[in-house]
Amino acid sequence: MSEGERATVIVDGMALANELREALRIEVASIVARGLRAPCLAVVLVGDNPASLSYIRGKRRACERAGMASREHDLPATATQHEVESVVAELNADDSVDGILVQLPLPKPLDASGVILAIDPAKDVDGLHPENAGRLVAGLPGLRPCTPLGILEVLDRHGVRLEGAHAVVVGRSTLVGKPVALLLVERNATVTICHSRTRDLAGVCREADVLVAAAGSPLLLKGDWIKLGAAVVDIGVNVIDGRQVGDVDFDAALGRASLLTPSRGGVGPLTITMLLHNTLAAYRRRTGA
Ligand code: GUN
């Protein structure tokens, strides 16, 4: 290690996720042991996007291992807006379903926001319905999006101090950038949200004690954009020449960041874990169990 460099802790998201999933499994087992039904997650997939198929496989496996029920509703890519929203309406009305997740992105020309609006907010385990998004803004309890919850879990589990820290979020998506910024503000961080029009992105990133890369742009954040000792969470999943890379140049960040999540096996396993967590929370709220 050269002068000024420091040891970087590489986050093992799978180990962290397994620990949390075991706690969830025990909670579900104790519910079932009382003669109650297990929580149930319904996943709606439209079309056959390979990345979506792979995510859904992971979600199904995680549900099974946690002792939760999972249901899949597959529609062809040619499904109409009305057909997709009708499936959601059926799941809303089905008392044995606690969580509904519509896998994104939806094939064109379907309108994702219309479909999300059709989900019962009490079953919106993605935390994307405007009611839940509004609750987050208002500081009211509600279902929060899974990746932002996973990011906070990684930071907390590694003892990263958020109070008073400057957190820079690169990316302003509804799924990650905006909600994680709000969760960080809730934890008393000073938050800057950056995006494609931000002037001097490198300069803003260099000010970050906590840097969240959620831009969906391969290797966008260079090593010298990272302040020495910063905690860096990269949720980018990009493929270059058949190799998975994040939004952060991982190799260049080693020796600069104090904490770093890899693109593979970083936050991803925690996103699924938080989906299970939200499904259990929705179940408890709905059934009073
Ligand atoms: N596609 C990629 N990530 C997600 C997610 O967290 N939720 C949904 N619904 N779709 C996704």
* Whole-number Å distance between alpha carbons of 276 and 19: 13
For ligand 1, atom 4, name the residue with the nearest CA.
104
* Number of structural domains the chain divides into: 2
Beta strands in 12-159 (DSSP E): 40-46, 69-75, 99-102
Residues in the chain, total: 289
Report the range of poorest mean pLDDT among 12-26, 50-64, 67-81, 116-130: 50-64
List pLDDT tens digits, range 211-269.
Answer: 999 999 999 999 999 999 999 999 999 999 999 999 999 999 999 999 999 999 999 99
Please give the average per-residue pLDDT across 53-79, as a whole number: 95
Residue 139, domain member (yes or no): no
What CATH number has the domain bearing residue 102? 3.40.50.10860
pLDDT of 5 reads 72
Is 124's C-beta closer than 6 angstroms to any atom of ligand 1? Answer: no
> What pLDDT is attached to residue 127?
98
CA 133 to CA 130: how far, in whole Å? 5
Q: What is the CATH number of the domain that holds 174?
A: 3.40.50.720
Query: Across residues 136-148, what is the average pLDDT?
Result: 98
Q: Report CA(279)–ligand 1 centroid distance (Å).
A: 15
Determine if ligand 1 sits within 6 Å of the CB of residue 43. no
Expressed in angstroms and rounded, the spacing between residue 17 Cα and the centre of ligand 1 is 17
* Same domain? 161 vs 48: no
The pLDDT of residue 6: 77
**Structural domain containing residue 248:** 145-269
Q: Are residues 158 and 105 in the same domain?
A: no
Residue 47 lies in a domain: yes
Distance CA 182, CA 106 (A): 26
pLDDT at residue 3 tops 70: no
Asked if 221 and 233 touch (Cβ cutoff 8 Å), the reply is no
- How far are the Cα atoms of 101, 105, 140, 141, 254 from residue 137, in angstroms, in the given order? 21, 24, 8, 10, 35
CB-ligand 1 contact for 126 (6 Å cutoff): yes
The token duo for 26 is 């025990």
Residue 286 lies in a domain: no
Please report whether residue 31 resides in a domain.
no
Q: Kindly indicate the confidence band of residue 2, based on its pLDDT and cuts at 50, 70 and 90.
A: low
Is the C-beta atom of 146 inside 6 A of ligand 1?
yes
Joined together, the tokens standing for residue 252 give 């260049």
| pLDDT tier at 4, thresholds 50, 70, 90 | low
